[in-house]
Amino acid sequence: MEDRLILDRYRLISEAGSGGFATVQLAWDTVIKRRVAIKCIQLDRQATARLDAGPVKMPGLEEAQTAALLSDAAIVGVYDFAVDDGVAYLIMEYVDGMSLGDVLRDANDDVDADVVAAVFAAVARALETAHSNQVLHLDVKPDNILITRQGQVKVTDFGLSRLSDAAG
């Protein structure tokens, strides 16, 4: 990958994945000296033009704001959000591991009951944290559940989440 910086700070290492409306890049934070995941969302001309008019609904911004409400070891942390040159960047905690979807595909459905229980407990705790902050995830699926090399479970991708109101 070319040796360039995103936002004059993050050195690209590799592409971690893509799908939907975004790509996720693995990068090195040259200031804090740590790996980060950066969700890159290409903005259309209309969204870019609205930026100049003041606060707007921006792809990725609502996800960043929602994730900022949530602090739990089982939720991927969001560090920052910025827009530059027609791209929205969501700077997140890098999770060194794989998705639950990948684990299930590699395991050929041969997963120990204790592992299943541990994953469910961590996901339940993450969702409890979200719900106690009036956040509904709305896209819980194996590919949005990450498992670190040490076995820690983390829920990610609050992009489709919604803030609930008193009516639910």
Q: In residues, how long is the chain?
A: 168
What is the distance between the alpha carbons of residues 60 and 160, in angstroms, rounded to a whole number?
A: 10
Which of 29, 102, 139, 143 is labelled catalytic?
Answer: 139
Q: Per DSSP, what are the bridge partners of residue 163?
A: 135
To the query of whether residue 139 is one of the catalytic residues in this protein, the response is yes
Q: According to the 3-state scheme, what is the secondary structure of 27-79?
A: EEECCCCEEEEEEEEECCHHHHHHHCCCCCCCCCHHHHHHHHCCCCCCECCEE
Give the Cα-Cα-Cα angle 131, 119, 91 (nearest 5 degrees): 65
Catalytic positions, please? 139
